[in-house]
A and B are shown apart, each in its own frame.
Chain A
Amino acid sequence: MEFSLLAAALLGIAMAFAVLRLERVHGVTDRRDLVDLVIGASVVGLAVGRIAAMILQGTNPLAHPLDLFFVRGGVDTGFASLGALGFLAWTARHDFWPTLDLVAPAALAGLAGWHAGCVFRGSCAGTVSTLPWALHDGALARHPVGLYAALLLLGGAAALVIWRRSLPLGVTASLALAIAAAVRLATEPLRPGLGSSPVPWYWAGLTVGAVGVVIRVISARSRNITDS
């Protein structure tokens, strides 16, 4: 039995939990259900992404339902993100943007924890590198690309926590989506693969996030003009 994937997932949840806890301590929110929301969205996203990956790989989920639990066999990033966002949108439909803005930095921190979990999984290695901090993996040294992604995402989460109060409603959530996608796009060239990297999904995430930022900023400005 191999628990490295579970360790990575638990680190992700722990980091998301830490950010939510920090926000409660600092009085940003008194909502106690945000941890449930983040965990619920993660589980739904994982399930949707795994089912999608199975179908795309040619395995019938109805004929092999237990394969759903072989998460390491592949989770489709795009469908997983849609599943998680769909869960959040449905659960927070009466309080949409405020809830998403609260959850967004925690989601980025959770993703950072998941990527940092490559240390447990022995899967941090990227393309070959001669940089002093490259990880020695066998005879070769390689970029610790999982740790790069974790640091960038953590930086994004910290920036959102700091600046969120000065941002219009919905901008934090949109920025978080754009940051998550941009980090994957930026680190993708350093990730060896077999050509099935979901780069179009990352571009879609970046575009939707950027468009979301623009729309929310324009919406906030027009509301301010109307109010004054």
Chain B
Amino acid sequence: MRHTLVLGLVVSLLVVGCVQSVTNTTPADPLPTISPDDFAALLDASDTPVVVNIWASWCGPCRSEAPLLHKAVAIYGSRIRFIGVDVNDTQDGAADFIAQYGLDFEQYFDPHSSIPTALRSTGVPHTFFFAPGGELRFAQHGIIDERTLAVRIDDLLR
């Protein structure tokens, strides 16, 4: 019994070690900043639907939903504009997070959380779904699950 437990522990550690080894980060350019007014203008001018995800590298729920966003961008990235806004964070933390989860879509750095404030958002994560022209269709406060994300994207595309 004890041998089985030890073996299980070793296998688990190996699996976790492998996960770590494939998520090593690489240096990246600093994320650009954007003012709330420019961000609002960007949404208004968009002729495609926009999904805005407010996140931070220190935010646990953001880690949980990051793989879903990565998948959504891979599937719908040509029809929907995905934007990430990293708030109350550091550039290093942001770069590590983006590299770890492959969030290589449009990202902005917002150290004072001014964009979420303008969107009347409190806390992270928060995901907004905008129709073309900037009309807010839906906002998800807290972790978004796969089905909710899929349904809201489906709404935007109809």
Contacts and interface: CB of A to CB of B under 8 A. Distances in A.
Interface in B108-138: 137-138
Contacts, number: 88
A66 B155 contact: no
A195 B67 CA distance: 12
Interface of B: 15-16, 19-20, 22-23, 60-61, 63-68, 71-72, 75, 100-101, 137-138, 141-143, 145-151, 154-155, 158
Given A70-B143, A72-B143, A140-B158, A192 B150 contact: yes
Nearest to B61: A70
A193 B65 contact: no
Contacts of A70: 60-61, 64, 143
Interface of A: 2, 54-55, 57-64, 66-67, 70, 72-74, 122-123, 125, 128, 137-140, 142, 191-196
Contacts of B64: 54, 57, 59, 67, 70, 72-74
A73 B19 CA distance: 18
Contacts of B20: 60, 63
A64 B68 CA distance: 18
A192 B147 contact: yes
Contacts of B158: 128, 139-140
Contact of A195 (B71, B138, B145): B71
Contacts of B143: 70, 72-73
A35 B15 CA distance: 34
B22 A194 contact: no
B151 A137 contact: yes
A7 B142 CA distance: 16
